[in-house]
Structure 1
Amino acid sequence: MTFENKIEAAVQEMFDRISFAEQPAGLYDPLRYMIRIGGKRIRPKLCLTTYSLFCDNFSSEIEEPALGLEIFHSFTLMHDDIMDRSPLRRGRETVWKKWNEDTAILSGDAMLIEAYRRIARTPQPALPKVLDLFTDTAAQVCEGQQMDMEFESRDMVEMSEYEQMIGLKTACLLACSAEVGALVGGAGKAECDALYNYGYQLGMAFQIADDYLDAFGDEKVFGKPIGGDIINCKKSWLTVRAIEKASAKVSEKAGGKASEKASEKAGGKADKKSAETSNLLNILDSQALTDEEKTDKIARVKKIYVELGVDKDARQAIESYSEKAMESLAGLGLSHMKEEALRRFADNLIGRVK
């Protein structure tokens, strides 16, 4: 059995054994439903992977915090689906759609509590550090979600803002998962810091890859309809980069900084929201109701991405963050076999883009 198969089997066994209270069924059935519809289980797999760097065999001491991380992730999805009005999750009805919004809110709250219950079962001496790390991460995920919501009503979002948002909403939880495994495995501070950074950089690559695949992926591989972000007018790494490049393109045509200074001298700041940028924003923000309109909008936006080179930029960003993840491990003195395990984890996570 390969190392990856061993991790896969251990995670599957953990979730096969998971159970929640039976009553009231209206509260706990949605929890069972969310766990049953599955997912990639990235966070517990990463947690077990980093734990295995310091311990030869899996034990119950790592199972509970690993489960807690995935349950927390499922809680965020349950509430995200309400905010995004998403009817489907992993090809199945979302909780709010299958039951109702009130049930999804309350069952989501119960799921968050269940996540803390599992995290609190982390053995000593790792418990205090794991609990602090998890609590900080939970707050960061909420901060990222708030930023994401605020971006929806804004035309212009800087790339630095967008990457800060995905760092909070997505990368921090992968970073936490990597460090929790190390902490429970008995790693020292330098090792924990390095693995946290590995998880963070990998999380950034993962989210940009997800944004890229939403536009350019294979629906069968991606697991959900292509163009969802485009149809729902959601900000993604690609839309932010496209607007950024369209604005820069216009500035260059107008003479760059010299033109901006002249504009300011004449009594106002240079208008970043040029006609070309406005046209792009109009296309991105246009409502597509029928299937024909949706297909047309996706095609038009993808054409713009390709013309601006945004697809290539995204692939380069994914590669850059992936390289940073591996560079985080330099100096840790990991064996070749252990370093390769982390490299394969990264490749499996973002290899869908290649």
Structure 2
Amino acid sequence: MTFQPFLEAIGKQVDNTTYGANPIELYEPIQYIMSLGGKRLRPLLTTLSAHLFTDDWQKTLKPAVAVEVFHNFTLMHDDIMDCAPLRRGKPTVHEKWNANTAILSGDVMLVNAYELLLDVEPVHLPKVIKRFNRTAAEVCEGQQFDMNFETRTDVSQEEYIEMIRLKTSVLLGFAMELGGIIAGADDATTQALYDAGVSMGLGFQLKDDLLDVYGDPEKFGKQVGGDIIANKKTFMLIEALLLAEGETKEQLHYWLAQEQGTYDTATKVAAVTDIYTQLGIDKIAEAKANAYFAHGFDVLQNLPVAEARKKPLLDFADFLVGRES
């Protein structure tokens, strides 16, 4: 894979990053969640975007890890809100320690993210901090919309797409924009990188929704069917509620009305998955995800950069489209 050297450099930078030592109860959870790995797609997008314009892409490593630290901070707090038992196939921080520790360790991670961003050259730092602040606020806005949706029965597809744009996609957009800014790209180009990242982020999240239902538990790293168990307003559920009729609609509403703890979760997951399959929701969601990916590809293809420079980034984008985890 042409992006492998970038991934290895990021891995080394993550391993060499320290967050603090004492009290150990505060910092050990940070090392734990950062050691769980994951795809490292956000820092990878930063380094690959910088590589479009400079051979000195290594200067983006600390800022790229800042994006990864921020991302993991949001995961640590999101897992508490979602009562999630697993993250990347391992116990979540609040399960391994407790919720209060996860909240406090997450707070320190946000501080660490700013410290790592300070490695950006002074000429670029004001713009980077301003864009990071806006992005961080939007991620929180998206999470709040997501929580608001839990008590609503009238969430539209447009509202859902806007929610995932904020919660997930803007950070991917910022990751790519960050690489361009550090590499000295002009404003129009960094905006194009941002737009490509947002579009691919939408495709990524829709693919995630799909994998939550149809993914291989051994590869996915999270509880497959978790969205179904939680009645989470995903693209797939919203689409199913629009398309279901007759007995299928009755069955779907039956399972949505059941309170957790009153049914066998495997039975519910199997029943709702079968409804999705009958309605062709899997194919609809995959087509929607691929359309966003395709738009992101188009934006990248139109960048006035040599094809050899684009190849690692395009290869990674292609990997995201076909991922199973």
Q: Quickly name the TM-score band, shorter chain normalised.
A: over 0.9
Alignment TM-score, normalising by the size of structure 2: 0.94
Please tell me whether the aligned partners of residues 88 and 220 of structure 2 are also in contact (alpha carbons under 8 angstroms).
Answer: no
Letter in 2 for 1:223: G
Structure 1 residues not aligned, in runs of 5+:
251-274
> Aligned letter for 2:258?
S
Instruction: Note the 1:199-218 alignment, pairs <5 A.
Output: 199-218=197-216
- Per the TM alignment, residue 65 of structure 1 is displaced from its structure 2 partner at its CA by 0.9
Bigger shift: 86-95 or 334-343? 334-343
Structure 1 counterpart of 2:254: 282
CA contact (8 A) 1:288 1:297 kept: no
1:245-266 deviation line (CA, Å, top 9, x unaligned): 23xx68xxxxxxxxxxxxxxxx
Q: What aligned pairs does 1:106-121 form with structure 2 within 5 A after superposition?
A: 106-121=104-119
**Relative to 1, partners in 2 of residues 1:100 and 1:223: Cα closer, same or farther, differing over 3 Å?**
closer
Equivalent-residue separation in structure 2 for 1:25 and 1:340 (angstroms): 43
Taking the aligned partners of 1:72 and 1:22, their CA distance within structure 2 comes to 19
**Do 2:128 and 2:178's aligned partners in 1 also have CA atoms closer than 8 Å?**
yes
Instruction: Tell me which amino acid in the other structure corresponds to 2:254.
Output: N
Match of 2:28 in 1: 29
8 Å CA contact 1:175, 1:200 repeated in 2: yes
For the Cα contact (< 8 Å) 1:231–1:287, is it kept in 2?
Answer: no
Map 1:29-68; keep pairs closer than 5 Å.
29-59=28-58, 61-68=59-66
Which runs of structure 1 show a deviation greater than 3 angstroms over 4 or more consecutive aligned residues?
A: 275-279, 287-290
* Alignment map for 1:1-354 (pairs within 5 Å): 2-59=1-58, 61-246=59-244, 277=249, 279-287=251-259, 289=261, 293-352=264-323
State how far apart, in whole Å, the 2-side matches of 1:101 and 1:288 are: 21
Q: Which residue of 2 aligns with 1:270?
A: none
- Given that 1:233 and 1:285 are in contact with CA atoms closer than 8 Å, whether structure 2 keeps it comes out as no
Q: Conserved in 2, the CA contact under 8 Å of 1:88 and 1:94? A: yes
Alpha-carbon distance, 1:289 to partner: 3.8
Q: Kindly state the Cα deviation for residue 25 of structure 1 after the two structures are TM-superposed.
A: 1.4
- In the TM superposition, what is the alpha-carbon distance from 1:86 to its structure 2 partner? 1.3
Structure 2 contact 206–235 (Cα < 8 Å) conserved: yes
* Cα contact 1:155–1:281 (8 A) shared by 2: no
Alpha-carbon distance between aligned partners in 2 of 1:146 and 1:278, rounded to the nearest angstrom: 30
Identity %: 42
Q: Deviations over 1:168-207 (max 9, x none)?
A: 0000000000000010011111110111011000000000
TM-score, reference length from structure 1: 0.87
Consecutive unaligned residues of structure 2, counting only runs of 5 or more, are none
